[in-house]
Structure 1
Amino acid sequence: GRPLLERARKATLAAGGQVIEVTRDILAKVSRRDNPQAVIGVFRQVFARLEDLDPAAATGWVALHRVRDPGNLGTVIRTADAAGCGAVILVGECCDPYSVEAVRATMGSIFALPLVRVDEADFAAWRAGWPGSVVGTLLSATVSHAEAAYRRPTLILLGNEQQGLPPDMAALCDVNVKIPMRGRADSLNLSVAAGVMIYAVTN
């Protein structure tokens, strides 16, 4: 009986979709939450292709190598969307961006930003034609992220939570930078580091 839900129901049917009424218990089981919202949407997974990306469409782009944590991945997607990045590129064996945890962490940005899945070899070949800077993050780098010169469009390449960027991926970068650690912590959470870098290159 809610006007917004009725609009959603009509739009779904008009688009050829299906509307199914279920019990609260089923909603809780499907959503994996004890207090589910009233509506759940089910959509086909969509991936873009590298060759369809237009580097001129945005100043910042994000590539993640073998990211393992779906919560981190979803948060990076959300942050990249918030900053107006062009896409998030998943390089190598990454976790599933369409898992429940990842989708929930995107807070809706899963619908706003192209996602690409690609292996290391295809990414390296495509990166060779990138018109701007490719910037990696490394703890061993000597250049601060705040001092490096970035040519737009800027592609940020981040490694996974445990190992960071391996040498072959770091070698694909025009410059590798570090985010200074001024306290006792020796590193940042991946999604936090991605956020720092995204806003550094898009501001």
Structure 2
Amino acid sequence: MTAELILTSASNPRVKAWAALLETKHRNRQGQFLAEGTHMLVEALICGAAVRTVVYDAERGLPSELEEPLRLHGATVELVAAARSVISKCTGTDSPPPVFGIVDKPVADHAALFRERGLVVVLDGVRDPGNAGTIIRSADAAGADAVVLGKGCVDLYNPKTVRSTMGSLFHLPVLEGDLTEMLPEARSKGMTIAGTSLQAARSCYECDFTGPLWLLLGNEADGLSQASLEQLDYGVIIPMKGRTESLNVAMAGTVVLYEALRQRELNK
């Protein structure tokens, strides 16, 4: 860890640069994003993410949970103590967290998309950051190999998305790309393409999810785009016994992912 700085002014140029990362254009320009909270930074450090700076509340002190991860994995991390006004300016929550970090965007691992018996979760037009983050978390829990966010999805590095992943963002490859190019490539490499749809005839409990699979999840209001529907090998529906018409996309994705996990565990 490098020497500590102490920042007290929210108008400091460095503080302004960090606060700018709340906006997509500045994240793209700087190639960095914000990771807020102790748990998120612990996961980032343990998983080898490129954490450049850790900024903590000078009044509260550095969270003790970060001391060991920083000792083991943070040799090049800059530590900055800051006033609470600085923390508030740079984070997107009503109650500022005790700490946040500046992290380099990772280099995408495309090899993870085409593994033998691989399971890849693909988001098509999912706009809500909470839904996107929860799906990434569920994909992690269910043992998926990667997650893809297609064009039209919420920005992966939106602070709300990052927070909603609860650290899963650092556990598996998560990529952004153009599905009109990626879906044909996946098919050419032997991946089966399935997607949730209210118009599908096959229940998720009737499908075989044990082979190499890309599972598509669509927009909260409109479902899968027409272009994606045309690429499907088959559609998947979740049976409903109650009176509700549909599930939230994150809930639906979790149900199907756990059915895929169940099948894959039985067929080891």
TM range (shorter): 0.7 to 0.9
Residue deviations 1:106-160 (CA, integer Å, cap 9, x gap)? 0011111111111132113312224343211110111111112234122211111
Tell me which residue corresponds to 1:108.
167
Which structure's relative contact order is higher, taking Cα pairs within 8 Å and 6+ residues apart?
1
- Partners of 1:135 and 1:177 within 8 A in 2: yes
**Hey, what's the Cα distance between the residues in 2 that align with 1:159 and 1:34?**
30
Residue deviations 1:72-127 (CA, integer Å, cap 9, x gap)? 00000011011110010112221111111101110011111111111132113312
- Partners of 2:180 and 2:228 within 8 A in 1: no
Tell me which residue corresponds to 2:86.
26
Assess, with a 3 A threshold, how the Cα gap between structure 1 residues 194 and 47 changes in structure 2: closer, same or farther.
farther
Q: Residue 41 of structure 1: CA displacement?
A: 1.7
Pair 1:189 & 2:248 matched: yes
TM-score, normalising length: structure 1: 0.87
**Hey, what's the Cα distance between the residues in 1 that align with 2:241 and 2:66?**
49
Give the 3-state SS of the residue equivalent to 2:101 in structure 1. coil
**Hey, what's the Cα distance between the residues in 2 that align with 1:13 and 1:140?**
50
Identity score, percent: 35
**Hey, what's the Cα distance between the residues in 2 that align with 1:3 and 1:165?**
45
Tell me which residue corresponds to 2:196.
137
- Partners of 1:47 and 1:114 within 8 A in 2: no
Tell me which residue corresponds to 2:75.
14
Tell me which residue corresponds to 1:46.
106
Which stretch has the larger CA shift, 187-196 or 147-156? Answer: 147-156
Instruction: Give, as a single letter, the amino acid of the residue that structure 1 aligns with 2:75.
Output: A
**Hey, what's the Cα distance between the residues in 2 that align with 1:12 and 1:132?**
36
Tell me which residue corresponds to 1:146.
205
- Partners of 1:69 and 1:95 within 8 A in 2: yes
- Partners of 1:12 and 1:18 within 8 A in 2: no
- Partners of 1:46 and 1:115 within 8 A in 2: no
* Structure with a larger share of its residues in strand: 2
Q: Residue 13 of structure 1: CA displacement?
A: 5.5
**Hey, what's the Cα distance between the residues in 2 that align with 1:124 and 1:42?**
33
**Larger Rg belongs to:** 2
Tell me which residue corresponds to 1:73.
132
Assess, with a 3 A threshold, how the Cα gap between structure 1 residues 57 and 47 changes in structure 2: closer, same or farther.
farther
Give the 3-state SS of the residue equivalent to 1:43 in structure 2. strand
Tell me which residue corresponds to 1:170.
229
TM-score, normalising length: structure 2: 0.68
RMSD of aligned Cα (Å)? 2.2
**Hey, what's the Cα distance between the residues in 2 that align with 1:13 and 1:177?**
44
Residue deviations 1:22-65 (CA, integer Å, cap 9, x gap)? 01232233233354343212101225154x32533664220111
Instruction: Give, as a single letter, the amino acid of the residue that structure 2 aligns with 1:201.
Output: A
User: Please, which runs of 5 or more residues in structure 2 have no aligned partner?
Assistant: 1-60, 263-268
User: Please, which runs of 5 or more residues in structure 1 have no aligned partner?
Assistant: none
**Hey, what's the Cα distance between the residues in 2 that align with 1:6 and 1:165?**
44
Instruction: Give, as a single letter, the amino acid of the residue that structure 1 aligns with 2:194.
Output: V
